[in-house]
């Protein structure tokens, strides 16, 4: 019979212990890194869109002086 490495038990002092395998720790770490990367990419794209909108509302000074000088 195969022994399960994730057996939960109570120590003699009454504390509750959950044994975790190394595979689950590595999987959790990789998953956290992937989720953090996705959140970072989302934040960068939102910030980039806001900068594009702010720059679109500005009139370049060189263009503004040319139109006022010709009139």
Q: For 47-56, how does the pLDDT look when each residue is reduced to its tens digit (9 = 90+)?
A: 888 888 888 7
Is residue 19 within 8 Å of residue 8, measured between CB atoms? yes
Asked if residue 31 belongs to a domain, the reply is yes
Number of structural domains the chain divides into: 1
3 part of a folded domain: no
Residue 69 tokens read as: 């000088």
| Mean pLDDT for the stretch of residues 56-61 | 71
Measured between its terminal Cα atoms, the distance across the chain in Å is 93
Determine the pLDDT at residue 51: 82
Question: Is the residue at 1 inside a domain?
Answer: no
d(CA 15, CA 24): 22
- Cα of 23 vs its chain's centroid, Å: 23
Look at residue 3 in the predicted model and tell me its pLDDT. 54
Residue 53 lies in a domain: yes
Range of the domain at 23: 8-70
Encode pLDDT of 20-49 as tens digits: 788 889 999 999 999 999 999 999 998 888
Considering the domain boundaries, does residue 2 fall inside one? Answer: no
Record the tokens describing residue 58, joined without a space. 């500005």
């Amino acid at each position: 019979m195969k022994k399960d490495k994730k057996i939960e038990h109570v120590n003699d002092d009454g504390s509750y212990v959950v044994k975790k395998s190394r595979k689950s720790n590595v999987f959790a770490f990789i998953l956290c890194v992937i989720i953090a990367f996705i959140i970072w990419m989302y934040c960068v794209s939102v910030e980039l869109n806001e900068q594009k909108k702010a720059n679109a509302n500005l009139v370049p000074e060189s263009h503004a002086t040319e139109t006022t000088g010709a009139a």
